[in-house]
C-alpha cells in the first residue's frame, strides 16, 4: 500500500508535467513569450554581471511571463467559445493583453531602478 505522501507527490509531478507542457506550448507558439523569456534572461545575466540584486528582477520576470501564459490561455478559450468576432471576446483579449503590457512596463521600471545605477557606474569605469 502506498502512503498518502507518495500519492500526493506523484499527483504533484503529474500536474507539474501538464504545467510544463503549457509553458512549452507557449514558447513554441507565442513570439511575445519567447521575446519575454529572452529579455528576462538578458536582464538576469546583466544583473549577475553587475552584481545587482536578482530577486526584484526574478519577480518582475515571473510576473510578466505568468501573465503572458494567462493571456495565451484566455485567448485560446475565447477563440474556442467564440470563433466569430464578438465585442466581448475582443474586450477580454484586449484586457488580458493590457495586463501583460502593464506588467511589462513595471518590469522595465524595475530593471531601470535595479540595473540602472550599477550599469552607470560600470560605464563610468567605477566597477
DSSP per-residue string spanning 19-83: HHHHHHHHHHH-HHHHHHHHHHHHHHHHHHHHT--SHHHHHHHHHHHHHHHHHHHHHHHHHHH--
Match 538576469 to its residue by C-alpha cell. Answer: 44
**Quick count: other Cβ atoms within 10 Å of Cβ 121?**
12
d(CA 30, CA 71): 10
Catalytic residue numbers read 68
Match 501564459 to its residue by C-alpha cell. Answer: 69
Amino acid at each position: 500500500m502506498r502512503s498518502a505522501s507518495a500519492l500526493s507527490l506523484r499527483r504533484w509531478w503529474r500536474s507539474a508535467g501538464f504545467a510544463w507542457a503549457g509553458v512549452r506550448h507557449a514558447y513554441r507558439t507565442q513570439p511575445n513569450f519567447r521575446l519575454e523569456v529572452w529579455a528576462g534572461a538578458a536582464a538576469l545575466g546583466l544583473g549577475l554581471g553587475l552584481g545587482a540584486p536578482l530577486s526584484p528582477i526574478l519577480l518582475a520576470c515571473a510576473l510578466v511571463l505568468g501573465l503572458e501564459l494567462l493571456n495565451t490561455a484566455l485567448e485560446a478559450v475565447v477563440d474556442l467559445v467564440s470563433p466569430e468576432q464578438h465585442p466581448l471576446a475582443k474586450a477580454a483579449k484586449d484586457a488580458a493583453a493590457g495586463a501583460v503590457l502593464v506588467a511589462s512596463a513595471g518590469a522595465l521600471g524595475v530593471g531601470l531602478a535595479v540595473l540602472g545605477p550599477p550599469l552607470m557606474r560600470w560605464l563610468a569605469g567605477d566597477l
